[in-house]
A and B are shown apart, each in its own frame.
Chain A
């Protein structure tokens, strides 16, 4: 009876043929079958809430800033930045915001990852976001105040854009349908953000010099797949070009024109009298004129150094190189486009010697921490330290080359992010840059007794620490007023002094073995190049003049070679260069100076503030081998990303007290080297303080959650004579900790339907465990199998099932990849025949308890998993309280692992089993692809895929299934130009083998031979009937299939698959075609 009923439940499931999702921010769609929905177990990584945040609000004239109370100083500084940025952006866009945008800041990247404002997992590298529905901005502080300010400005510019474009609630909730191209939105935001840095320049210059610029028409596709960083920089450059050549007012008009002109070509014609193609041609020509003169005076990296590794593997990238004891090998942070690892590679050919982090992700750490110096090879030759995030913060893991294993994990509890590490010569101490609690500072960690010594303390950023050869000093980069200098910390005296302070960024110091010279990178001409600074002579010498720029140099232990990263053709590459001796260094410096002396400097380009030609002119005067003292003006918003104003250069006044330590939570004055103090000081509110405190135009108050409108989703469908519909309204508080959703049906015109369907759900995400509770009352209609004579016609009856009850779920994330789930469900069901006669049917109720353990450490590509594994074990049991309550147990196991074969191919292996045991066991369906339509809202007990068979062809209370699938990439990123420009990011081919069966209690499982597809169905049916008559159990043979498919990603994954049934003994059926949507298993 129950099996039959469940089968019916599937049949009456509303087949959705049209679905319209409007608005973002809607978390769930209401399932139409509550019980089976609760049995469905999901995968996915966890957003772990490691901290109980205490929020306060600062309200200034134009905005409302939410911050953690302990980082009040950072918040006040942010308000300063934002108010300044508001005026700046308002002037550019000629617009005032219609209301105060809520801005949320986190004191670190890892706390930012815990935000509930969006529920998706935020991977490392996301610098912040703004969302158009409620105009919220969410920004982490990553240790660098200048970067922090830039991100604030960028995201605030987006808020201005939203306010201009999305006037009114309808436009806001339909924003995906009415948004301008991404290159316009991001280009404008970048245009409003102060200056380009050298990395921006490097990316843009490389694209121009290597013919890698993306056509404007195709630029939006770059955000889907391609060089996103280049897309940002190009968009920025195009806006600068328009502003410089057609006037800044044209930039501010773009969004207003968009309101009346949604065609980009026509918009540009109205704006600047040219279409996209013409703008592209002119802008590209302008860029070439700007950058090509550099070819006269600069070298390709390949002219001065040898590339490490070949050109074949364009996706393989190495970063953060560190030398082995002998100099034969390098430890590197490697990425092959799928996974990141710490590898040991051979210097001569970049071949892999040892994969240090093999199988460590998920078991030893959450993910590696990317950075310019998060690997360090100890002078003892056998200890390699690297940084990885595990739990709430970064750890340093010590890997031993002799043991080939992790020998120690160093936990530094008061540091969240570790950005750069370097070993002392004794191989016992590590210098590191730790970021957390609103600061970025230099520390020394003793790896034996794990004591930590903080050496600097200021809100400004420090980076790239390196011990001197005798271990008595540490050289490091230190930022001050948007510019890095190199300072030296004396371990004996505890004092630091500025050693190198050119008017540009001076980065990545490396001690030469003699201990009196520093190799470093400086951003002269906006291009990073190598220099040597002689500490005794007080002179610097230029070592390179490259086109691509140099970063992260690492000197070999004997000081005779240097490995560095450079950027060429859109990717990072490693090069090896011989390190000349001092006389050769001096000769080289003179040669490079003479080289630019032979080039006639041209007039600075008026359209680009940081013109390369202007820089050449600067170099003529600057390359005199004497460090120019740095000017220290307070950088205005209109500066150019750290580029110096040479006219205001003044003698360096190094008044900083190096040993000063300012803890983030300290309420005292800033350290002496801190940037100017924020202009607003606001007293803290007390716990009982319901009323706000106001001072200097800024109000401070405690955060109180208030539910506000998030969005609405509307879905509708039609199946078997019935329309279905769900309208869901979602609300949440500003920080996303509380969520409330209300769902109902909105098609009430059917003659038999006069019900009030609703579901109310509350969710809480404010703590590490998350909770959800729901109540519901839902009615579903379907044509039943009974027939009636009605008005002289033979008709089938219509039944209704009313489901009412409640759900309660709790989920506890053990870490990023694992969690425990627990749920209780009560569902009362009442079946009623409603037409043509009314007849009350069976009434049942269910109390279901379910728990599950879920592991998911998969890397996902566009078309499915690319590496890793996932599995869950789900166990459920109903509470049998007699009467009409259901009684069954539920056991389900799903294990999937994905093995990489070569670079891109993936072999997916899956084993699945589910059983519903008991007197009221549920029946599961098996057959066909996993999903047969997108937006399939009505959940049913389908399992799969078992391709080559009809959808849900088999049913039973038990299902066993295994899948093997090899996916091979065919195409990556194919751009079509007709009927419009669009990108198909990926097409894969697949071959697969499926085997499985569904059976009931009492059936005989018949594993071999497999089901023969040539078997006559009539004969098969007769055999079943014969066994039934004889009282024998039914036979359930295993069914298998082989096939191939084409997996296409176009807006969503589309699977075109052809499969044949087989018994693996030479019998095959004809091909059966399956069209399905969604990522493969």
Chain B
């Protein structure tokens, strides 16, 4: 069973990261306007910024203009390395090992601090681990590095909406519990009206 699940996870990660297929349907421009909360999965080719998608003001003090250029200059070796880490992190998440995913991505950041996908994915993991402030920081950093990536914007936006909802209503608290109401673990891709953040590849 474990092997089956790991095989599925690896296959999914490969597809995701190779840019051949979007894990979650990517909305068209009109759909994006119409259904903002929908989730869109990025691909590796989309990590470099796209014109016409202004990024929100970064929460961390890094020069916005310089970051994408530096990001683009990363070596292919670094990209491959990050890709492997992202694949493994996805496998960990599929196997409900969020701490393990976090540890590897944080370690990978030591060697490639300009990877937008790593920042985004770390944001997802921290959000899942309940550390929303850290998650927000990582989402923002991901957007800084790759301002054109719609998924990062959506992740950050939804996190902020949830934080707001949490502050506003006591019922919203349940949405952020580590476990679902029925006791099951909540995972990316689970239903329930609130789409989880998109895990992105390199």
Contact = CB atoms under 8 A, between A and B. Distances in A.
Interface stretch (B29-37, B80-88, B152-160, B182-190): B80-88
A353 B95 contact: yes
A402 B87 contact: yes
Contacts of B100: 324-326, 328-329
Interface in A456-475: none
Interface centre among A355, A401, A402 (most CB of B within 10 A): A402
Contacts of A838: none
Is the interface on chain A under 10, 10 to 19, 20 to 34, or 35 or more residues?
10 to 19
B107 A328 contact: no
A329 B107 contact: no
B85 A402 contact: yes
A382 interface: yes
Nearest to A324: B100
A306 interface: no
A604 interface: no
Contact of B88 (A329, A352, A355, A401): A401
Contacts of B10: 404
B85 A328 contact: no
B2 interface: yes
A423 to B, nearest CB: 14
A382 B2 contact: no
Nearest to B1: A352
B97 interface: yes
B104 interface: yes
Nearest to A351: B2
Interface in A299-332: 324-329
A325 B103 contact: yes
Given A353-B2, A354-B2, A381 B97 contact: no
Given A353-B2, A354-B2, A402-B85, A382 B104 contact: yes
Nearest to B100: A326
The B interface is mostly helix, strand or loop, or mixed, namely: helix
A349 to B, nearest CB: 11
A402 B2 contact: no
Contacts of A355: 3
Contact of B107 (A325, A327, A352): A325
A1003 interface: no
A172 B107 CA distance: 67
Contacts of A950: none
Interface string A366-396: 0000000000000011100000000000000
A326 B88 contact: no
B113 interface: no
Given A381-B104, A381-B107, A402-B84, A329 B97 contact: yes
A328 B97 contact: yes
B99 A327 contact: yes
B103 A354 contact: no
Nearest to A346: B97
B88 A382 contact: yes
B27 to A, nearest CB: 32
B6 interface: yes
Contacts of A382: 88, 104
Interface in B102-143: 102-104, 107
Contacts of A353: 2, 95, 97
B103 A381 contact: yes
Interface string A400-421: 0111100000000000000000
A326 B103 contact: yes
A346 B95 CA distance: 10
Interface residues of B, number: 16
B2 A352 contact: yes
Contact of B102 (A326, A401, A402): A326
A324 B88 CA distance: 13
Nearest to B103: A326
B71 to A, nearest CB: 22
A381 B101 CA distance: 11
Contacts of A380: 107
A402 B95 contact: no
A355 B3 CA distance: 9
A403 B107 CA distance: 17
B76 to A, nearest CB: 17
A846 B37 CA distance: 86
A347 to B, nearest CB: 10
A159 B107 CA distance: 60
Nearest to A400: B84
Contacts of B103: 324-327, 381
B6 A354 contact: yes
A353 B101 CA distance: 14
Interface centre among A325, A326, A329, A351 (most CB of B within 10 A): A326
Contacts of B99: 326-328
A352 B10 CA distance: 18
Interface string B48-88: 00000000000000000000000000000000000011011
Contacts of B6: 354, 404
B185 to A, nearest CB: 13
Contacts of B3: 355
B2 A325 contact: no
Contacts of B88: 382, 401-402
B97 A326 contact: yes
Interface string A131-161: 0000000000000000000000000000000
Contacts of A324: 100, 103
Contacts of A351: 2
A326 B85 CA distance: 14
A602 B165 CA distance: 69
A1022 B100 CA distance: 75
Contacts of B85: 402
A502 B160 CA distance: 59
A576 to B, nearest CB: 15
Contacts of B97: 326, 328-329, 346, 353
Contacts of B2: 351-354
A382 B100 CA distance: 11
Interface string B1-31: 0110010001000000000000000000000
Contacts of B102: 326
A355 B1 CA distance: 12
B110 to A, nearest CB: 10
A401 B104 CA distance: 11
Interface string A349-366: 001111100000000000
A382 B95 CA distance: 16
A328 B98 CA distance: 9
B112 to A, nearest CB: 14
A327 B103 CA distance: 9
Interface string A339-353: 000000010000111
A850 to B, nearest CB: 42
A787 B48 CA distance: 99
A406 B182 CA distance: 41
Interface string A601-638: 00000000000000000000000000000000000000
A351 B95 CA distance: 11
Nearest to A380: B107
Nearest to A557: B103
A978 B99 CA distance: 59
Nearest to B97: A328
A324 B99 CA distance: 11
A326 B97 CA distance: 9
5 contacts: A326-B104, A328-B97, A352-B2, A353-B2, A355-B3
Given A328-B97, A382-B104, A402-B84, 17 more contacts: A324-B103, A325-B100, A326-B97, A326-B102, A327-B99, A328-B99, A328-B100, A329-B100, A352-B2, A353-B95, A354-B6, A380-B107, A381-B104, A381-B107, A402-B85, A402-B88, A404-B6
Interface of A: 324-329, 346, 351-355, 380-382, 401-404
Interface of B: 2-3, 6, 10, 84-85, 87-88, 95, 97, 99-100, 102-104, 107
Closest A-B pairs by Cβ, 10 of them: A326-B103, A326-B100, A402-B84, A326-B99, A325-B103, A328-B100, A402-B88, A328-B99, A328-B97, A381-B104
